[in-house]
A and B are shown apart, each in its own frame.
Chain A
Amino acid sequence: MKNLFKLFSIIILIITSNSNSFAAEKVEYLKTDWSFKGLFGKFDRASLQRGYQVYTEVCASCHSMKYLSYRNLAEPGGPEFSEAQAKAIAASFEVTDGPNSDGEMFTRPGKLSDKFVMPYDNVKAAQAANGGAYPPDMSVLVKARGGGVDYIYSLLQGYEEAPSNVSLDDGVYYNKYMYGNKIRMAAPLSDGLVEYGDGTNATVEQMSKDVTTFLMWSAEPHLESRHQMGFKAIVYLIILTVLVYFSMKRIWSRVESEV
């Protein structure tokens, strides 16, 4: 048994030393309490709904969300809009469909099964409209950035006056959390930019938190069931391990040897 503990402490040592080695750039990100972290972490439903509002009213004019469908908004573990609400959200978007029997493309109101409507037809159009910078797709953005949610949360609040020794081109802004500090996106949030239906005060901090929560869900839509299943799986494994340990002791008691 003693050896076993040694073994697992070495495993953990190796793993932590390796994962630390990836955190190459050391920037202190802003911290906040994320409800979805930890063994039982779940999304804050109201925050997800507010986050969707921020996304759709602010981000969506430039950033696509191409792997999400409107039906996802009503699915368990997400913002959990009612089906009627999700249908209404979908219907508020014009979707290009077709070709019809005349061979023509046509537009119709969105349905639950439609993917989120993209702000631009293609990458080139997005770049042309944004001074050559492509606003990245947001579906898995949180997982595609080293700092994850803390990075996005900080970035949204990281806009500052550039220090005097930094010169910025037109259409480039200073952000203290951005890699290289130069960002092509103007500060997207300002206090009171959206009006929350539930009366929450729409400060930049609050909106950053809500929209980041929403982005975490969009990147990991099954996070809640993963946490729930994980807890059950690990408890099950621990119980089984204990039972097998005592069976092993009993079996090995027949020979005069340690296990």
Chain B
Amino acid sequence: MSDHDYRPKSKVGQWFNDRLPLLTLANHLTDYPTPKNLNYWWTFGGILTFCLITQIVTGLTLAMHYIAHADMAFESVEHIMRDVNYGWLIRYIHANGASMFFLAVYIHIFRSLFYGSYKAPREIIWIIGIIIYLLMMAAAFMGYVLPWGQMSFWGATVITNLFSAIPLVGEGIVTWLWGGYSVDNPTLTRFFTLHYLIPFLILGLVVLHIWALHVPGNNNPVGIDIKKPSKDTVPFHPYIVIKDGFALLMFMIVFAFFVFYAPNILGHADNYIEANPMVTPAHIVPEWYLLPFYAILRSVPDKLLGVVAMLSAILILAVLPWLDTSKIRSAVFRPLYKQFYWILVADVLILGYVGAMPAEGLYLLIARVATAYYFLHFLVILPVLGFKEKTLPVPLSIAEPVLGGSPNLAAARNKESKIE
């Protein structure tokens, strides 16, 4: 937030702003110069903010009625569904809201991958984003445990057991996590506490994420640095506000469809059976948004290495800005990267699919190939591509490709050959 010489008009405003520059902040947020060529993939940041706030508000309301106790949790959820006024609505928004949150975050992440938004000077934004994503997974996993259904219980058992793979101290860590010798009431109460805490950590990180974004400003579909403000930018308000609002409404229609007409389609039927430590479900599957990583976990025959592979699959994203050696941000000007990008998208979807299937036979083979390719993409293809790929001419400004036949084209070509 540099170059701000904003001064409120009123005396009171000036007095207040000299002491706490909230009005300067508000002015910065409304005037914030934004590339005018942002497409709808860029609206998911706003959508994600909406998702976070929705989860917090509905979650607080649910917490007023929910009882975190192994003997009463399942019943209290049924109490919410039946007897609390609009309890069913609040719970279905919260449960489907988690899925919507992940749907939006995956689009947001893959947008960043396509347009190279993680590259300099935006590495910190990206890394904060990855931390938020990790916290989201932790919050979602613990939230899924709270209704204390069969999938809650067995999902918690499987995932916490992963820590036992750590040599020497693994078993001790698992007992410590559980607060006992199996998943039981102490596990439930601590998961509830953490599930309550994490969203506020995420909220804090979101503020940092946006702050870090406002230093260099948005990337854009062309992926070039632009002058700000200039004729390539529009003020955030009203242009981006209304566009984000429009996209958010479209998103809310999809969201509402799930909440009102298919509220249980994304969940698992077994979670309507109360947790029973004596009966193991036929297939223990996590929620859909964790399936790709579950597939990676199961594709490695060794337990410890499986856990390492799963964690690396996420953490590898944090070093992505340094693995991708190409100076060109947007895939629009990287014909080869563009193809590899779509192969990666397909690879992750395939991982998600086999993650939901039993880990045997052909499914296991596919999972292994897809896992290997996932790491190949980040560790080999991306670093090599930056040196080998012949990129397309990059325009000098956003206005250029729109107007066409620009005199800058020759200059752009020159610039590109220098990069090569």
- A→B interface (CB under 8 Å): 3-4, 7-8, 11, 14-15, 17-19, 21-22, 24, 39, 67, 72, 136, 139-140, 143-146, 148, 179, 219-222, 226-227, 229-231, 233-234, 237-238, 240-241, 244-245, 247-248, 251-252, 255-257, 259
Contacts and interface: CB of A to CB of B under 8 A. Distances in A.
A233 B256 contact: yes
B75 interface: yes
Contacts of B282: 179
16 contacts: A8-B254, A15-B266, A21-B352, A21-B356, A39-B261, A67-B79, A67-B82, A140-B78, A143-B269, A144-B270, A148-B269, A220-B88, A244-B242, A252-B239, A257-B37, A257-B234
Nearest to A227: B260
Nearest to A248: B242
Contacts of A4: 40, 247, 250
B78 A67 contact: yes
Interface of B: 36-37, 39-41, 75, 78-79, 81-82, 88-89, 92, 103, 107, 234, 238-239, 242-243, 245-247, 249-250, 252-254, 256-257, 259-261, 263-266, 268-270, 272-273, 282-283, 285, 288, 291, 349, 352-353, 356-358, 402
A230 B259 contact: yes
Nearest to B247: A4
Given A67-B82, A248-B246, A237 B89 contact: no
B41 A144 contact: no
A226 B269 contact: no
Given A7-B40, A251-B238, A259-B243, A240 B249 contact: yes
Given A17-B349, A18-B352, A143 B357 contact: no
A227 B254 contact: no
Contacts of A230: 256-257, 259-261
B250 A67 contact: no
A244 B245 contact: yes
A139 B78 contact: yes
A21 B353 contact: yes
Contacts of A21: 352-353, 356-357
With a 10 A CB-CB cut-off, give which of B78, B79, B285, B357 has the most chain A CB atoms. B78
Contacts of B37: 257
Contact of A251 (B242, B263, B353): B242
A143 to B, nearest CB: 4
Given A21-B356, A24-B357, A67-B82, A229 B250 contact: no
A241 B250 contact: yes
Contacts of A226: 88-89, 92, 260, 263
Contacts of B247: 4
Contact of B264 (A15, A143, A233): A143
- Most interface-central of A4, A8, A14, A22 (chain B CB within 10 A): A22
B94 to A, nearest CB: 15
Given A251-B242, A255-B239, A3 B39 contact: yes
Contacts of B285: 22
A143 B269 CA distance: 6
Contact of A257 (B36, B250, B254): B36
B268 A22 contact: yes
A22 B282 CA distance: 13
Contacts of A24: 283, 357-358
A103 to B, nearest CB: 25
Contact of B246 (A221, A229, A241): A241
B250 A8 contact: yes
In the A-B complex, list the 8 residue pairs whose CB atoms are closest, starting with the nearest.
A230-B260, A144-B272, A21-B356, A241-B249, A143-B272, A257-B36, A67-B78, A248-B242
Nearest to A39: B261
B260 A234 contact: yes
Contacts of B252: 237
Contacts of A233: 256, 260
B390 to A, nearest CB: 27
Contacts of A136: 273
Nearest to B87: A222
A67 B88 CA distance: 14
A220 B262 CA distance: 12
A214 to B, nearest CB: 15
A220 B264 CA distance: 11
A39 B88 CA distance: 18
A7 B103 contact: no
A14 to B, nearest CB: 7
Contacts of B250: 4, 8, 241
B77 to A, nearest CB: 10
A237 B261 contact: no
Nearest to B221: A3
Given A7-B40, A21-B357, A227-B260, A251 B239 contact: yes
A156 B250 CA distance: 42
Given A248-B246, A252-B243, 11 more contacts: A7-B40, A18-B352, A22-B268, A222-B82, A226-B88, A233-B256, A241-B249, A241-B250, A241-B253, A251-B242, A255-B36
